[in-house]
Amino acid sequence: MLLYCLYLSSQIDKRFSGRRWSIPSRVFSDVTILYPGQKINRTLFYEKLHRLGYRGVFHEPHSKGEFRTLGASLELFLHDFEMPSVRRQGICVRIRFVENLIESIINVNNGDPIPILELEPEEVMLFFGHDRERRRLVSINQVPQHVIYAVLAAEDSRFYQHRGLDPLGILRALYTNLRYASIRQGGSTITQQLAKNYFLTPERTFFRKLKELFMSLTMETMYEKNEILEIYLNEIYLGQKASDAINGIGEASFFYFDKPVEELSLIEGATIACLIRGPNYYSPYVDKTRCKKRRNLVLYAMKDKGWISDEELGDALLSPANAVGYESYGKKAPYFIDYLAYQLTTLYSPQDLSSLGLSIYTTLDTQVQMAAEKALQKGLVRLEKSNPTLTRQDLTKKLQGAVMVMQPKTGYILAMVGGRNYNISQFNRITQARRQPGSAFKPFVYVSGLDKFTPASILSNKPETYEVDGTVWEPKNYAPVSEEKISVRSALAKSINLGTVDLAMRVGLDHIAATANLFGFSIPANPYPSLSLGAYEVTPLNLARAYCAFAADGVLPFPLSLKEVLDENGKILEQRHTSIKRVISPAKAFIMSSMLRSVVEEGTARSLKDMGISFPVGGKTGTTNNFKDAWFVGYTPNILALVWVGFDDGSSIHSSGAGAALPIWAELMSMLPQFVSGSWFKMSPGVVKRTVCSESGDLAVKNRCPHPVEEYFLADNVPKDSCPIHRWVRLRHFMKGVKGFVNPF
């Protein structure tokens, strides 16, 4: 027996001296910032509060996690919030709205205004091991004494008197069970339960029971009582949240009462203690009456031991067995999480992610993610209703779409929707699909020519043929355009193919390819002329990233999904910062944004105005041959969003970028007023404004050019000559009256 106990002691020491539990790593969204003067989508905001575990009440909030709406005001008792850069104790705040505008935020306790309020990150997912256990480790010093008494009363009232085996407890349990002719009490001590749960299988055999006995005696010899109890409190199974097991009192306190274990009341502690016997049988989420009956038995046992008074018992018995409630959400932002997980595998193994208890903070904005998912779903359904030929009965072949939302200056990925339904298809069309961008590629052709051409330069709109590898290629416009000449600005705004090809051939395809590669594309050498019309495959992620440079003063950001990784003690293990490189000058970026704004105001995306988008936007539609792909990439100084619509097999969707993708973009942006300031980019140094003739592109002659327009130019590429068409208009008019005059013009 002694030798066997020595063997058991080595096994126990080996387990206890290492990592005692596999703690799943938690993935969090970014924080949500609120401030007076900010517009918000109140529907999405309240949805976020519910996902964060806040619950509505009718009384004045007095506990963390409660909120009450009063007319135009919201009273919110904040949770505690701690990150390396932020630490905040939960306080009650009052947020006053004027429609969708935050008018004020004040601290209810002292009436002080709060200039900026940060809502805590939202838990997005956990990296589970095979057991799918949710657990928050707590120290025995964090657990209130009345909660410890409740656990002892429920499971082992003589825990501090016995040495792992309690003969009196066994006799008492036997007497009680015989008296009631049913199993009312168990004879196992807390140490025995820990040995069974922590080391042994649940099989009911004499040998397993004997091993449990010896292991309990050995544990009691090796460790102090409080250490055994601490391990037990962190180990016990206390319920189920969907497919996730709730283990340990730390996790249970949040699951049932939305508070840390330190704040559990007597009633709440007794409720958790009563669950140990049968978590899913006595759960207040399953049967409140049954739970209350079992909880009251625990309270009576506490009174019998002298751990609570008659008054405390009387008050507690009258209280109902209520829990805060919970919602079981599916996998949130699944395509984003897959993208993040792929990046994390370069830093941590799957085993580490499911066992080290890491806290992973991301760039995800769950309000933007929800808006993107809703906008895409509604948009695809709307397209199918408007054109029934797009409807497919096979769920794997249905019309698809993808949405990507970024902060242009930081590269933060705010939302990623890689498909219509993750449960049906996990293929991420944002990162994995390679599609032709069509006209959405044209801005990179135009930016390549800004050193030689200006927005006012005149391009040819005449049909031309080109020979490519012995094959004749004759580009055509999407729709007939009567003018034989057109300005650079108009050619981009109206997506004129012939004008774009004319520009590309004059700039040089190799130069365009080299410029585009600076933006993150991988265009091979000796490209075909069709490159200028987007006949080159890209991923939506790369396309969205490239557009960021126009909105970020010419700086190309690296797409960022991960911000920080913390270990279980809150120490920073990884910290990612914005990574950028300059690809064009701020002056060129401003001019390109100006031209892309013309796309929205007078070009292919002008229907945005009819969709309620009244703020300044720059962007570009894209449509590929036979309507296989529909695109729109649009941005403001604060946010950029890309939308793609198409079939995975390349079937025609019978709609353009303006008809299919643009309405989804408009719906998305209408749900995100917090990102719409209504401002536009300030004119960069190196940019000048001049009045030019719209017909010639040269400096307008005052009172002579019939259609002068103001245009932006690079400071070193400003037209120097006056308009040759209208410069001598008065002289020509006079000479027409001179006999024998022949007009040389």
DSSP-derived pairing of the beta strands 55-56 and 66-70? parallel
Known catalytic residue at 220: no
DSSP track, 370-391: HHHHHHHHHHHHHHHHH-GGG-
Q: Rounded to an integer, what distance in angstroms lies between the CA atom of residue 625 and that of residue 475?
A: 11
Contacts of 652 (CB under 8 A, 6+ apart): 626, 627, 628
- d(CA 657, CA 501) in angstroms, rounded, equals 20
Crossing angle of the two packed helices 2-17 and 206-222, in degrees rounded to 10? 70
| Calpha distance 555→586 (Å, rounded) | 8
Using only C-alpha atoms, the chain has a radius of gyration, in whole angstroms, of 34
User: Is 10 among the residues known to form the active site?
Assistant: no
Q: What is the DSSP code string of 73-84?
A: EEEEEPPPEE-S
The angle subtended at Cα 257 by Cα 252 and Cα 263, nearest 5°, is 90
Q: How far is CA 617 from the centre of its chain?
A: 23
Residues whose CB falls within 8 Å of the CB of residue 648, separated by 6 or more in sequence, listed in order: 397, 400, 427, 429, 433
- Nearest-angstrom CA–CA distance, 745 and 742: 9
Distance CA 194, CA 537 (A): 59
One-letter amino acid for residue 714 of the chain: L
CB-CB contact of 477 with 419 (8 Å): no
Contact (Cβ atoms closer than 8 angstroms) between residue 264 and residue 244: no
Is residue 639 packed enough to be buried (19+ CB in 10 Å), middle (13-18) or exposed (0-12)?
buried
Catalytic residue among 155, 212, 235, 268: 155
* φ/ψ (deg, to 5) at 414: -85, -30
Catalytic option among 439, 487, 532, 656: 439
Tokens 């303006």: give the residue: 658
Decide if 135 contacts 205 (C-beta within 8 A). no
Catalytic residues: 155, 439
